[in-house]
Structure formats: structure tokens, C-alpha cells
């Protein structure tokens, strides 16, 4: 029967090929959405690791997470340097990484931080930041670029960059009198680090010595003059905390949240990431539902194709019945043919998915920080393929039984 | 109990009508054929020829009466068993030969063994199925160069012979030909009839030949005429 089904399908190759392509598109879309969903999720949760608490001015946990980790949005207020230091110096605190945001460079956020950032910030599975080229920042006007910043803007070690005040790059707001020198470029991380310009906290202070209340003061000081000032920050945007003992996390979190001297929020990154992911999960569900409808359209297209060919196949089926094919053979012929079509469609869909992933991998990784690695199909994706095949077989039972019933009505002597 | 010894095909008081119809499409009181007999069934359009063939092949079962093939009452068999019985014991040649266009000449012939273990067993008694089919086609003057070719590339005459080979492979006891000459000119028709007689006689097949062409009746030892349905009754005379 398989041989007959194969040859019969090959004989009607035009309609079969179109059906295979329709199924392949459906399978590619369905598997692609699943792949992107999983990789996005993995990328999202890999953005920060080993950090026990993130602390910022009192705001919602999601807002704090967005601006401190994803460089999205702005802080409602700052945390004073004294408060930061009082927590950084506590015995239960193993390390802290200060974060100072507010400036930008050609669309990329600038982040002021300390050298602890290089030692303690980790992402993914406990991975620390590594330099692709150059060194850490040492001087006040040194900068270390994320991989995307360097790639997109074509920067190399030794290049000078101008930081803009605020998040716009309007000329009047440029700190063009205090250029920074690129001293290092990070390896790609697939996290917002790639899209960040990193400078020292002193550097942030230096470019703002002649600014007052967010605007230029009447006095303009050049880079060298600025170095004469005390560049210890008065405030920072947020800070990350790593504890000696993780069991103390909730105690310290409560203490920070109830800190009377300054209103602050402390969040657990993992829990907040989960909460935030849950808020955007309906989007992925909608995508999945849309993909499901595309699959349904593909299956209905296949059903229509099979049904439309049944009329021209009445003679073939009558002949098969005459030479002894039983009802179940006719049903099996249609179901087998469907199985071949949908299996070929799924195989083509998987091949197309991998081809697309290979083609788009670097672009997607660079633009969205999502790594579309060509890993094998996981159990969910195999389940999706199995489900598609099973659904197609169930759908094919409709034309199969119609063909069987017609074969009884037509009998042996179909005059076509 | 009636003695059906030597009977290959037996019809007793066979009536057939579709559900909801008030009249019989087929009405045959009695018809018995022995091994190797050749029967010509003539009838005009609407006389129930097609329905009779479907009854003989077990596609349909009579509304009343009995259709026996090789002593087996087809109505007593389950539909699947009737299909298997047909596959094992009956060969069919169609009006337009109806070869499957996506199979080669050889595959069209051996296909008959795919649904019948008995035909396959008989076809493999002395050699493989393919070899038996080759020999059969060779006997019917189909050159070996055509065996792997698509049947669409065969002439009408060659297609006739392939259709006969498909009906004969595995040695069916009963050969049914459904107006196989209706689309042929006189020369081709005569050649086909000679071929059919020669092969069915060589194998001892009981041949039931259906046609509306009265000229052919003279070549058969027995003939029946199916009367068109008049006032709701189609019958054999």
C-alpha cells in the first residue's frame, strides 16, 4: 500500500507539492514561534544571575528591573551615595555593583559603574563578563563598550566617543568637551550589556561637573579641569547586591524596603523576572494561537486538496476495489498519502526553520539578544510535530471514508 | 439440499433494488455456469448490467435470492471477506482497461497479487510474482522493453493485453469483462475477443462477458439478455 500511495502521490505531484509547502509553512511557523518563545525566555532569564538583590529608589519592582537590568525607562529617583555605602559595607554583603544611568551615546545607554562590575556581574549560567579586546576602564575618561555598540557603530580600541546628556543626542546636550576613549570591548553576552556603554562613576561625575539641575551651568569646564574636582558621586541610580549567605536575602530585602532614611525598593531579580515574564506571556500565547490557526488553515487546505482530487480518483479507486482492495485498503491509501504529505511537510518545515535560524541567527542575536542556536528538537517540538501529523491523519479520515463510501456506490463500472 | 457440484457461478431468484426504490433493477430467476463456460450478457442501457456485475463481484448483495461463486453464498460473507473472495477468485477487465497511470506495465499486472494471498501464492508456485507477470505479458506479446514503461506510453492494443494479464494473474476461476470492446473498432475488437477466448480457455476460466453489442453473442456458447427496466422490472431472459 505504501508503494501505491507513494506512486499515486507522485503522479499528482503539483497539488501534492503545494500541499506539502502549505504544511511546511505551518510547521515552520509553529516550531519557530515555540523556538523564539523558548530562546527569548532563556535569554530573558539569563540576563542577570548570581545577584541576590537589586536596590533602587522606591518604585515598582518591574520598573526597577527594567531600568537597572534592561536599560529600559528611567528611575523615579536616585539612591544617595551614603546609603549605598552603608549597605555595601555591611558584613553580610559580599559585593555590590553600583549603577548610574541617565546619559546615552547615539541611542545606546551609558552606564556608570565601578570595577566590581567586571568581577561580580554575571549572566546566564554564572558567566562573568569577559573582554574581547582591550582592558577594563582605569582612567576617568575610559569606556568599555558592549559588543553591539562596537559592532553597530564600528568602534575600535582607541576611538573617542562623545556622551550625550540624557537619552537624546541633540547637539546642545553633548558632553563634547569631555570625550571618552574606548579602552575595551566586551565579548558578546546576548544581554543588555551588549548594548551598553560602560564608564566609571567618576567619569559620569566628571561630565556633569559643569551641569546643574540637569542643564549646563554658566561655567564650562574642559576635561582636564573637571579632573580637579572631587569625582565621588553624590548619588547613583541603583545597585546590585551579592550576599555572603543567600539565606539572608529576605531579611536584607525587608530591611531595605523599610529603610527610614531613604525610600528604596529591593527586588529579587529571579522572582521579578518571573513576574514580568508572566505579564508578557499572553503575547506568546497569542502568537501560539495565531500559529495554530495557520496550521489549521494548512490542514484545511490539505483536506480541500484531497477532497478535490477524490473525484478524479474515482476510477483509480474503482480499479483497486475491482482487483480486491478492501474498504480498509482504500481508507489506508488516503491516510498513508496524507501521512506522506504531512511528514514531508513537517520535514520541509523543520529544514526551513533551521535554514531561517542559521540565516537570521547573528542578526537576531545582535538586535534582540536572542540566540537562535541550531539545537535539536526538544520534546515539546517533537510533540508539536507529532500533533500536526496526528491531526492530519484524523482530518484525512474524512476524505478516506468519503472515498470508501463512493467506492461502494460506484462499484466496478465507473464510466468516467 | 441443492447439489451445486461443478457449479462456478450460481444465481437463484436474485432480485436487487436500491433502498427506497419500489422496483427491482435486476431480476434473474436462475443462472448456473460451470467451469470454463463462456457467458455473454447483453443488455441495453438501464438494463442492470452494471448492477449484475457488482452482484457477481460481491460489491453489492442481492435484496433477495442467492449469488454463489464456487459454492460460496456471497451474501453470507462479511464485506471484507467478500472483497477478499473477489481478490482471490475473480479477475476483471474494464471497458477502458483502467490501468493505473502511475504504475508501470509490470506493476499494473502484479498489483492484483497485492490484495490476494491466494493469487500471490498461485503466481509464485513456480517463480516470483514478477517473473510470472513477465511470462504472462510475454505470452500476450508485450515486449520486455515495455515492462518498466508507464502504461500511458502503451498503445490501446497493448493496454488491452496488459488489462487481460492483470485479470488473469494468479489464476482466477472467474473472469468478468465489462464492455471491454465498446470503444474499439471492428478489427481491434476481434483481436481482443480472440485474445480473451484463448487465454480464458487456456486457464479454464469461467468467462462472463457483458456488452450491448449483439454481434458478439455468436461467439459465446451461452447468452442471456437483460431486459431494460420496464414498469419497474428488469429481468433476464
- Range of the structural domain that residue B146 is part of: 35-63+84-226
| DSSP-derived secondary structure letter, A302 | H
Rounded to whole angstroms, how far apart are CA atoms B85 and B82? 5
Q: Does B77 touch chain A (CB under 8 A)?
A: no
Q: What is the pLDDT of residue A200?
A: 95
The answer on pLDDT for A1 being more than 80 is: no
A260 and A118, same domain (yes or no):
yes
Query: Is there a single domain that holds both residue A27 and residue A144?
Result: no
pLDDT of residue A168: 61
Q: Where are the alpha helices (DSSP H) in A311-326?
A: 314-322
Instruction: Kindly state whether residue A272 falls inside one of the protein's structural domains.
Output: no
The domain total for chain B is: 1
pLDDT value, residue A186 = 95
Which residues in chain A are contacts of B98 at CB distance < 8 A?
315, 318-319, 322
Is A342 within a domain? Answer: yes
Q: In whole angstroms, give the CA distance from residue B216 to residue B166.
A: 23
With H, G, I as helix, E, B as strand and everything else as coil, classify residue A151: helix
Q: Give the Cα separation of B45 and B212 in Å (integer).
A: 8
Which among A6, A409, A413, A414 is the top mutation candidate for probing chain B, defined by the most B β-carbons within 10 Å of its own β-carbon? A413
State whether residue A325 sits within 8 Å of chain B by CB: yes
User: Which ranges of chain B have pLDDT less than 70?
Assistant: 1-5, 96-97, 228-237
- Reduced to 3 states (helix: H, G, I; strand: E, B; else coil), residue B218 is helix
pLDDT grade for A78, boundaries at 50, 70 and 90 = very high
pLDDT of residue A364: 77
pLDDT at B208: 92
Quick one: pLDDT at residue A134?
A: 95
A318 contacts B98? CB cut-off 8 A: yes
What is the nearest CA distance from A322 to chain B, expressed in angstroms? 7
Query: What integer pLDDT is reported at residue A413 of this predicted model?
Result: 57
Residues A37, A57 within the same domain: no
B58: domain CATH number? 3.40.50.300
Look at residue B73 in the predicted model and tell me its pLDDT: 92
Which domain-ending residue is among A234, A267, A300? Answer: A267
Show the cell assigned to B37.
463456460
pLDDT of A329 higher than 90: no
In this structure, the answer to whether residues A330 and A243 fall within a common structural domain is: no
Residue reference for cell 493505473: B100
pLDDT in tens, A56-65: 999 999 999 9
Across the A:B interface, residue pairs with CB atoms under 8 Å apart total 81
**Whole-number percent of chain A with pLDDT over 70:** 94
Give B136 or A345, the one with higher predicted confidence. Answer: A345
How far is B1 from chain A, CA to nearest CA, in Å? 31
Per the domain annotation, does B192 fall within a domain? yes
pLDDT band at A242 (very low <50, low <70, confident <90, very high): very high
* Alpha carbons A249 and B59: distance in angstroms, whole number: 80
B9 touches chain A (CB under 8 A): no
pLDDT above 70 (res A369): no
**Residue B123 near residue B170 (C-beta atoms within 8 A):** yes
Q: Can you give the residue range of the structural domain that contains A391? A: 2-44+280-410
Alpha helices, DSSP H only, in B124-185? 129-139, 156-168
Of A321, A324, A415, the CB nearest to B84: A324
Supply the pLDDT for residue B233.
40
| Partner-chain residue, chosen from B57, B83, B103, that has the shortest CB–CB distance to A7 | B103
Distances (CA, A) of A411 to A252, A292, A395, B223: 84, 40, 25, 23
Mean pLDDT, chain B, integer: 83
- A18-22, A150-154, A381-385, B230-234: range with highest mean pLDDT: A150-154
Of A4, A322, A328, the CB nearest to B92: A322
Task: With CB atoms and an 8 Å threshold, state whether A324 touches B60.
Answer: no
Instruction: Give whole-number Cα distances, B131 to A323, A376, A382, B120, B166, in Å.
Output: 20, 47, 44, 12, 14
Overall pTM > 0.90: no
CB A193 within 8 A of CB A186: yes
Contact (CB<8Å) B178/A315: no
Q: How would residue A320 be classed by pLDDT, with cut points 50, 70 and 90?
A: confident
Q: Tell if the CB–CB gap between A322 and B57 is shorter than 8 Å.
A: yes
Write down which residue in A267, A293, A316 finishes a domain: A267
Does one domain contain both A288 and A256?
Answer: no
Q: Report helix, strand or coil for A329.
A: helix
How many domains are contained in chain A?
2
- Cα gap A70→A27, rounded to integer Å: 32
A289 at B interface, C-beta within 8 A: no
B177 contacts chain A (CB < 8 A): no
> Scanning every residue of chain B, which has its alpha carbon at the shortest distance from the alpha carbon of A408?
B59
pLDDT tens column, A88-141: 999 999 999 999 998 999 989 999 999 999 999 998 778 889 999 999 999 999
Of A267, A291, A324, which residue sits at a domain end? A267
Shared domain check, A156 and A300? no
Residue B97's pLDDT is 60
Tell me: do A39 and A58 sit in the same domain.
Answer: no
CB B154 within 8 A of CB B101: no
pLDDT above 90 covers a percentage of chain A that reads 38
> Is there a contact between A318 and B87 if contact means CB atoms under 8 Å apart?
no
Q: What are phi and psi of B216, to 5 degrees?
A: -80, -20
Residue burial A38-77, b: 16+ Cβ < 10 Å; e: rest? bbbeebbbbbbbbbbbbbbbebebebbbbbbbbbebebee
B95 located within any domain:
yes
The per-residue pLDDT for B232 is 37
Minimum CA–CA partner of B210 in chain A: A413
Answer whether residue A310 shows pLDDT above 90.
Answer: no
Cell output for B93: 477487465
Helix, strand, coil share of chain B (percent; to 5) = 40, 25, 35
Same-domain status, A350 and A207: no
Yes or no, beta carbons of A411 and B98 under 8 Å apart: no
C-alpha cell at B216: 458478439
What is the C-alpha to C-alpha distance for residues B11 and A176, in angstroms, rounded to an integer? Answer: 108
How many whole angstroms separate alpha carbon A255 and alpha carbon A147?
Answer: 37
DSSP A163: P
Same structural domain, A320 and A182: no
pLDDT score for A349:
92
Residue B54 with chain A: CB contacts under 8 Å:
411-413
A236 pLDDT above the threshold of 90: yes
Q: Judge whether A325 lies within some domain.
A: yes
A68/A195 same-domain check:
yes
- For residue A132, the model assigns a pLDDT of 94
Inter-chain touch B92–A318, beta carbons under 8 Å: no
Amino acid at each position: 500500500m505504501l508503494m501505491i500511495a507513494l506512486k499515486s502521490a507522485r503522479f499528482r505531484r503539483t497539488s501534492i507539492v503545494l500541499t506539502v509547502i502549505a504544511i511546511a509553512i505551518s510547521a515552520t511557523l509553529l516550531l519557530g514561534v515555540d523556538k523564539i518563545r523558548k530562546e527569548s525566555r532563556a535569554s530573558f532569564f539569563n540576563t542577570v544571575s548570581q545577584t541576590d538583590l537589586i536596590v533602587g529608589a522606591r518604585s515598582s519592582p518591574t520598573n526597577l528591573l527594567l531600568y537597572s537590568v534592561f536599560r529600559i525607562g528611567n528611575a523615579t529617583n536616585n539612591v544617595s551615595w551614603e546609603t549605598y555605602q552603608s549597605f555595601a559595607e555591611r558584613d553580610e554583603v559580599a559585593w555590590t555593583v553600583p549603577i548610574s544611568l541617565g546619559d546615552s551615546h547615539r541611542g545606546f545607554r551609558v552606564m556608570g559603574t565601578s570595577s566590581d562590575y567586571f568581577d561580580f556581574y554575571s549572566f546566564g549560567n554564572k558567566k562573568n563578563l569577559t573582554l574581547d579586546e582591550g582592558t577594563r576602564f582605569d582612567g576617568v575618561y575610559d569606556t568599555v563598550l558592549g559588543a553591539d555598540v562596537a559592532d553597530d557603530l564600528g568602534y575600535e580600541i582607541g576611538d573617542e566617543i562623545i556622551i550625550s546628556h540624557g537619552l537624546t543626542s541633540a547637539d546642545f546636550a553633548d558632553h563634547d568637551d569631555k570625550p571618552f576613549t574606548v579602552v575595551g570591548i566586551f565579548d558578546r553576552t546576548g544581554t543588555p550589556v551588549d548594548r551598553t556603554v560602560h564608564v566609571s562613576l567618576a567619569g559620569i561625575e566628571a561630565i556633569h561637573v559643569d551641569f546643574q539641575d540637569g542643564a549646563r551651568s554658566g561655567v564650562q569646564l574642559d576635561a582636564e579641569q573637571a579632573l580637579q574636582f572631587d569625582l565621588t558621586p553624590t548619588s547613583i541610580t541603583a545597585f546590585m547586591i551579592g550576599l555572603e549567605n543567600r539565606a539572608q536575602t529576605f531579611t536584607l530585602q525587608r530591611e531595605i524596603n523599610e529603610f527610614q532614611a531613604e525610600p528604596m525598593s529591593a527586588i529579587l531579580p529571579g522572582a521579578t523576572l518571573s513576574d514580568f515574564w508572566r505579564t508578557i506571556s499572553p503575547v506568546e500565547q497569542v502568537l501560539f494561537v495565531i500559529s495554530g490557526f495557520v496550521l489549521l488553515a494548512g490542514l484545511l487546505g490539505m483536506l480541500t486538496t484531497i477532497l478535490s482530487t477524490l473525484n478524479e480518483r474515482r476510477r483509480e479507486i474503482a480499479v483497486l476495489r475491482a482487483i480486491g482492495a478492501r474498504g480498509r485498503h482504500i481508507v489506508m491509501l488516503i491516510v498513508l498519502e496524507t501521512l506522506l504529505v504531512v511528514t514531508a511537510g513537517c520535514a520541509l518545515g523543520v529544514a526551513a526553520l533551521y535554514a531561517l535560524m542559521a540565516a537570521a541567527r547573528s542578526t537576531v542575536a545582535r538586535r534582540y539578544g536572542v540566540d537562535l542556536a541550531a539545537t535539536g528538537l526538544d520534546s515539546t517540538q517533537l510533540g508539536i510535530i507529532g500533533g500536526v501529523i496526528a491531526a492530519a491523519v484524523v482530518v484525512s479520515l474524512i476524505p478516506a471514508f468519503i472515498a470508501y463510501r463512493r467506492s461502494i456506490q460506484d462499484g466496478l463500472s465507473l464510466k468516467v | 439440499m441443492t447439489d451445486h457440484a461443478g457449479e462456478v457461478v450460481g444465481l437463484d431468484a436474485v432480485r436487487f433494488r436500491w433502498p427506497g426504490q419500489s422496483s427491482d433493477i435486476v431480476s434473474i430467476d436462475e443462472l448456473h455456469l460451470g467451469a470454463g463456460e463462456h457467458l455473454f450478457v447483453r443488455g441495453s442501457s438501464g438494463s442492470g448490467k452494471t448492477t449484475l456485475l457488482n452482484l457477481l463481484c460481491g460489491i453489492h448483495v442481492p435484496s433477495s435470492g442467492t449469488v454463489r461463486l464456487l459454492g460460496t453464498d456471497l451474501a453470507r460473507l462479511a464485506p471484507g471477506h467478500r472483497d477478499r473472495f473477489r481478490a482471490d477468485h475473480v479477475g476483471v477487465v474494464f471497458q477502458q482497461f483502467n490501468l493505473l497511470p502511475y504504475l508501470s506495465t509490470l506493476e499494473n499486472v502484479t498489483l492484483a497479487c497485492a490484495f490476494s494471498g491466494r493469487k500471490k501464492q498461485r503466481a509464485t508456485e513456480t517463480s516470483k510474482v514478477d517473473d510470472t507477470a513477465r511470462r504472462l505479458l510475454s505470452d500476450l506479446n508485450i515486449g520486455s522493453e515495455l515492462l518498466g514503461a508507464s502504461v500511458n506510453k502503451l498503445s490501446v492494443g497493448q493496454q488491452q493485453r496488459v488489462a487481460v494479464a492483470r485479470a488473469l494473474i494468479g489464476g482466477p476461476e472467474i473472469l468478468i469483462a465489462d464492455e471491454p470492446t465498446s470503444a474499439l473498432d471492428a478489427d481491434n475488437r476481434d483481436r481482443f475477443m480472440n485474445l480473451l477466448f484463448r487465454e480464458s480457455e487456456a486457464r479454464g476460466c469461467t468467462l462472463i462477458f457483458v456488452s450491448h453489442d449483439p454481434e458478439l453473442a455468436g461467439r459465446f456458447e451461452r447468452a442471456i439478455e437483460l431486459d431494460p427496466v420496464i414498469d419497474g422490472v428488469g429481468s433476464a431472459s
